[in-house]
Structure 1
Amino acid sequence: MLWYLTLVLLVGLERLAELRIARRNARWSLERGGVVAGQGHYPWMVALHTGLLAGAPLEVALADRPFLPALGWPMLALVVAAQALRWWCITALGPRWNTQVIVVPGLPLVTRGPYRFGWLRHPNYVAVVVEGAALPLVHTAWVTALAFTVLNAVLMVVRIRCENTALAMAAGRAAA
């Protein structure tokens, strides 16, 4: 259990690093006329992600969930792959990446990194979905994985609509 708690704490530290980058990037965007959208759903997103990081180890401890190697090791590989995808997205978007929806009008869409594949408009959210299911399942916290997945699906519908609308408005066209 201690190694699993360490893994979750490392993911939590990674989230804190993301928030530092997001704060810096928000300043960059706002200095260039960036427009913030979707503030209503943002606190729910923060609560959901905090719940994931707290809920998974709590479930493991309270429900005495075992580590099952046949499930745990592949899920750990997916957690690592999700982190790699997330940081590829952060790197590709550069100062335009953020945890909030902030769009600088007039800037073209990013078409490098994972964004060069036109069939996947939101690869960062793929990382969120994979990690949200895989991190709890590393140590069979299936209730947390299920709850996060369902709640995140609802939130992603709102978030992606918000982001698509904001990007379309910044480009001067109707939302897709």
Structure 2
Amino acid sequence: MEIFLWMILAFLIFQRLGELALANRNRKWMVERGAKEWGQGHYFLFILLHSAFFVCIIAEFVWTPYVQQPFFYFALAGFFVLQILRIACIRTLGKRWNTRILVLPDEEPIRKGIYRFVKHPNYVIVFFELMVIPVLFHAYLTALIFPFLHLLVLTVRIPAEERALHERI
């Protein structure tokens, strides 16, 4: 089981690094089309939060004896559902998906797919990922702390996004 968990962790790290590369490509594409970036001052908080998240999962996983709990399979199912939703967000936004706040002039926010139902679905998904993923690794302290930290960062991020969208109009 531990090998399987290390594989999941490696997948997640490579996924996040791949998403950063995709975000950089999308950022370049958007800037070439006149996009303006907002909220650069708090972006480091996301990098710090997600980097610390993985460090804490690894630390808890390595430093505590692993005992598979009955709810592991519920967490694993939740993980797969969250991955599908995460991919849906990225696909729906296409080249406009980014980890930064970029607004293209004269373009309306996308309101299709999952964005028809939830204004900031990716943040909701990440919130639940920050709870579910640590449970897979019996990193319960990480599962308690990081969703809360994510919400704190969002108290800065979401208002910055809303200002960017309103000032664009």
TM-score (norm 2): 0.94
| Cα displacement string for residues 29-63 of structure 1 (whole angstroms, at most 9, x for unaligned residues) | 10111111111211111111111122112102112
Residue 164 of structure 2 corresponds to: 166
| CA distance, structure 1, for counterparts of residue 79 and residue 154 of structure 2 | 19
| CA distance, structure 2, for counterparts of residue 71 and residue 169 of structure 1 | 46
Residue 95 of structure 1 corresponds to: 95
Tell me whether 95-104 or 108-117 shows the greater mean CA deviation: 108-117
Residue 108 of structure 1 corresponds to: 108
| CA distance, structure 1, for counterparts of residue 38 and residue 62 of structure 2 | 38
| CA distance, structure 2, for counterparts of residue 44 and residue 31 of structure 1 | 26
| CA distance, structure 2, for counterparts of residue 11 and residue 161 of structure 1 | 28
Residue 31 of structure 1 corresponds to: 32
| Cα displacement string for residues 48-96 of structure 1 (whole angstroms, at most 9, x for unaligned residues) | 111112211210211224221x221111111111111111011111111
Contact 1:65 1:141 in 2 (8 A): no
| CA displacement at 1:114 relative to structure 2 | 0.5
Q: In structure 2, what residue type is equivalent to 1:90?
A: I
Percent identity, aligned pairs only?
Answer: 35
| Cα displacement string for residues 7-41 of structure 1 (whole angstroms, at most 9, x for unaligned residues) | 11101111111112101110111011111111121
| CA distance, structure 2, for counterparts of residue 52 and residue 79 of structure 1 | 16
Matches within 5 A, 1:12-161: 12-68=13-69, 70-117=70-117, 120-161=118-159
Contact 1:5 1:57 in 2 (8 A): no
Give the unaligned 5+ runs of structure 1: none
Contact 1:36 1:103 in 2 (8 A): yes
Partner of 1:41, secondary structure, is helix
Q: In structure 2, what residue type is equivalent to 1:64?
A: P
Q: In structure 1, what residue type is equivalent to 2:148?
A: V
Partner of 1:102, secondary structure, is strand
Contact 1:60 1:66 in 2 (8 A): no
Q: In structure 1, what residue type is equivalent to 2:55?
A: A
List 4+ stretches of structure 1 deviating above 3 A.
none
Give the unaligned 5+ runs of structure 2: none
Compare the two structures and name the one with the higher helix fraction. Answer: 2
| CA distance, structure 2, for counterparts of residue 48 and residue 102 of structure 1 | 20
Q: In structure 1, what residue type is equivalent to 2:32?
A: E
Query: When the two structures are aligned, how many residues end up with a matched partner?
Result: 168
